[in-house]
Amino acid sequence: MYTKPAPTRAFPVALPWMLPILLVLLFLAVLIWLPWQAQRMEANERQEQLIADTLWVEQAIQFQLKRNEESLVALSEDFVQNKINHQALIDRLRLYTNNNHEIQDLMLWDNQNKLIAANSDSVLDSSAQTDNRELVRQAILASALFTQKIQKPSCMKHTQNTGIVLCRFPLFRDQVYLASITVSYRLQTLLDETVPWWFAQENAITLLDNEEKVLAKRAAGGPGKNIYTHNRALELPQLTLTLHTNSTKSAPKLLANLLVLSVVLLSLGLVWSLIALWRDIHRRMHAEGALRKEAAFRAAMENSLITGLRARDMEGRLTYVNPSFCKMIGFPAEELVGKLPPMPYWAPEERAEYETRFAQILTGTVQPEGFEIIYQRANGERFPVLIYESPLVDEHGQQTGWMSSILDVSELKRAQELTRQQEEKLHANARLATMGEMASMLAHELNQPLAAISSYTTGALNILQQEENETLPTAQTSPTTIPKSLRQSLSEALEKAKQQAQRAAQVIRSVHEFVKKREASRALLSINTLLQSVMPLIELQAQSAHIHVHYQIDQNLPDVFADKVLIEQVLLNLTRNAIEAMQEVAFPQRQLQIHAHLSAGNNPKYPQLVLIQVIDHGHGISTDVAGKLFSPFFSTKATGMGMGLNICRTAIEFHGGSLKYRANPAGGTVFEFTIPCHIPQT
């Protein structure tokens, strides 16, 4: 019996053979595709590079033309504004032409289009008809540059010489046409000067007009092959040219078949190399991991330090700085590592000290103890540092340099200075307390004799009054009887003595209250009345020094709420200082002025102020004294206590005013203080 054989299954048998074939075909396809793709990429890169280079050349030409325009317009403005003369203008035009070879002619025209100056004598000489510059001049006058009212820069081609472009730049002031300057450019020279040699070696550059007519051409590497080309518009004022570039490079060729064999061999070698390198890489990764861990630990320790660290070699060159040191001085590590002295953080005034220390380090005589010196930060700020130097030794025990630790001690110095200032303030407060106790004691001790003086003068006045009442009018005067005129004078003198004794007692009581409570006793009073009462005392002080006193006091000044005695003391103190300041000046200059005016206040609570000024023509106040003028216990007088101006300012501030001073424009000083005016309650 015949049995039909079972059909063979070819697909599973052919599959193992087809897979390598497919892989080989895929590999060959990739090998063919790669050179073709590389060719396309290279062609695209060349075209893109050509476009970028063309754009760069166009911008370079535009920059040169714009720079010429700005320079020539500025030169024209200088001449129009009479900053330079005619000959200087011609010289500068010639110099500018010599420095810019692309410029052939420069001409300056007035507002009537008359030629003023040029870079060549032949242009100015109308008889030189055969000169090329005269042809340019004729072309400019006949062109559209002057035949129409153009208020903007304009350019056009030369009618006879296509290689020349004429440009005109008008000059206006307040929309009034003043002048214009014309420039003739040699396009060929412009290309030669602005196009770099490497670009001209690989490309043929051509300037075309709007009719594609060649105006200038530069082809140092030969004519272009019309494979990679690009056109770029060169925009001039009212004129557009085309910058055409044609590369001399040919199209990239496909790689040779040797490349395929090289790729196969390199692929096999790469597989063998990968197997050989895998074990070495595995070992290296373990070693690098341990080293990276150690380096990270060391960097973390150095970054956490607040002390600056630096290392120097045997020549003094910086080899290492930590972040704290860079943060301390404000310079990055890149600007410090590898630098030899002098260092940028050395203060100029301490350079001799640095050099001495550096010489000691180089000679090995540096002391192990630290030393203090001044460094400067990147912003110029000075700050003190404490430095410790020690030798830097390598693993073989050889010294390779020095290691320094730097500590910023500016905060420590600042704390020490603050402590010193606090101690000085404590001493000053102790002196103020002592002075207050002395003032209180003097007030207490002087009240009794002043009260006695007041009682005695009152008794004397009573006796005189009693005698006057008992004396009968008669033609004869008893020998024991005081004449009436003398008795009246004596009564007035005793009355004034009584008033002054009472006033002194009132001053002492005010001082005593001021020392005890630090607060003045104020009442409503008239400034005009106060000034009238203190005028005799001011004039008495000024009379002995031969000083004239002048008053400028507004009438009907508003009332103020103040302590009359304290304000009088402030006026007397300021006028006494002014009188003493004019002791050494000439007699005609010994003029003391006292002004009182109404002034507006900046504080809404006190909208009106009374301004009182004491003006002298003395020696003035120097800048050294000005900063300490109101400080307690500071005085320029040999016998002064230095409390007068300080007490005056405190008294004025108690009243809500302010005491200031300024220099007198006529010489001397102006002291002025304000007192708020009283506002009646509504």
The residue that leads in pLDDT, 444 or 170, is: 170
**pLDDT greater than 50 at residue 149:** yes
Q: Which carries the bigger pLDDT value, residue 318 or residue 515?
A: 318
Partners of 172 in the β-ladder: 177
Average pLDDT, the chain: 77
Q: What confidence tens digit (pLDDT) does each residue in 285-306 have? A: 888 888 888 877 777 777 777 7
User: What are the tens digits of pLDDT across the range 64-79?
Assistant: 889 988 898 888 888 8
The Cα 62–Cα 56 span in angstroms is 10
Residue 544 CB neighbours (<10 A) = 8
Ranges 168-172, 434-438, 565-569: which has the least confidence: 434-438
pLDDT at 28: 63
Q: What are the boundaries of each domain within the chain? A: 61-191, 305-408, 415-469+482-516, 521-676
Q: What is the mean pLDDT of residues 601-612?
A: 82
pLDDT of residue 340: 86
* Euclidean distance between CA atoms 618 and 556, whole angstroms: 31
Could you tell me the fold of the domain covering 305-408? Beta-Lactamase (3.30.450)
Q: Which residue has the higher pLDDT, 441 or 164?
A: 164
Q: According to the model, what pLDDT value does residue 306 have? A: 78
Higher pLDDT, 53 or 471: 53
pLDDT at 405: 85
Which residues contact residue 401 at a Cβ distance below 8 angstroms, ignoring those fewer than 6 apart?
311, 312, 313, 314, 319, 391, 392
Instruction: State mean pLDDT over 125-134.
Output: 50
Q: Which of 14-18, 407-411, 417-421, 676-680 shows the lowest mean pLDDT across its residues?
A: 14-18
521 vs 229: which has the higher pLDDT: 229
Q: Name which residue leads in pLDDT, 226 or 25.
A: 226
| Selection from 117-126, 477-486, 537-546 with the highest mean pLDDT | 537-546
Instruction: Please state the φ and ψ torsions of residue 611, each to the nearest 5 degrees.
Output: -100, 120
* Listed range (96-100, 190-194, 363-367) with the worst mean pLDDT: 363-367
**Residue that the structure tokens 């600007």 belong to:** 335
248-257, 275-284, 351-360, 501-510: which range is least confident on average? 248-257
For residue 38, name the pLDDT band (cuts at 50, 70, 90): low
Mean pLDDT in residue range 29-51: 75
Q: What is 61-191's CATH number, 2.170.270, 3.30.450, 3.40.50, 2.10.110?
A: 3.30.450
Nearest to 612 by CA among 587, 665, 648: 648
Q: Do domains 305-408 and 415-469+482-516 have the same CATH topology?
A: no
Read off the pLDDT band of 256 (50, 70, 90): very low
* pLDDT interval class at 23 (50, 70, 90): low
Q: According to DSSP H, which parts of 81-177 are helical?
A: 86-99, 121-124, 132-142, 144-147
Which two three-digit tokens encode residue 257? 């078949």
Coil, strand or helix at 520: coil
pLDDT at 612 over 90: yes
Residue-level pLDDT at 613: 92
Please report which confidence band the pLDDT of residue 611 belongs to, taking 50, 70 and 90 as the band edges: very high
Q: How confident is the model at residue 641 (pLDDT cuts 50, 70, 90)?
A: very low
> What number is the average pLDDT over the span 528-556?
84
Q: In the predicted model, what is the mean pLDDT of residues 622-635?
A: 63
65 C-beta neighbours (distance < 10 Å), count: 22
What integer pLDDT is reported at residue 638 of this predicted model?
A: 43
Contacts of 575 (CB under 8 A, 6+ apart): 538, 541, 542, 592, 594, 614
Question: Which residue did the predictor score with more confidence, 235 or 447?
Answer: 235
C-alpha distance from residue 578 to each of 304, 426, 614, 669 (Å)? 63, 32, 8, 8
Please determine, for residue 361, whether its predicted confidence score (pLDDT) is greater than 80. Answer: no
d(CA 367, CA 364): 9
The reported pLDDT for the residue numbered 518 is 46
| 651-668 pLDDT tens trace | 888 888 888 888 888 888
CA gap 584, 670 in Å, rounded:
18
Fold adopted by 521-676: Heat Shock Protein 90 (3.30.565)
10 Å Cβ neighbour count for 651? 23
* Amino acid of residue 55: L
**Range from 47-61, 129-143, 260-274 carrying the lowest mean pLDDT:** 129-143
Closest C-alpha among 251, 244, 253 to residue 218? 244
Rounded mean pLDDT, 613-624: 83
Residues 364-401: tens digit of each pLDDT: 666 656 788 888 888 888 888 888 888 888 888 888 88
Please determine, for residue 239, whether its predicted confidence score (pLDDT) is greater than 80. yes
How far is the C-alpha of 580 from the C-alpha of 587, rounded, in Å? 13
Q: CA-CA distances (angstroms) from residue 482 to 279, 458, 486?
A: 137, 18, 7
Q: Pick 370 or 581 by higher pLDDT.
A: 581
For residue 457, pLDDT over 60 is answered with: yes
pLDDT value of position 490: 77
pLDDT classification of 615: cutoffs 50, 70, 90: very high
Task: Give residue 286's pLDDT.
Answer: 83
415-469+482-516 — its CATH code? Answer: 1.10.287.130
Q: In the predicted model, is pLDDT for residue 517 greater than 50?
A: no
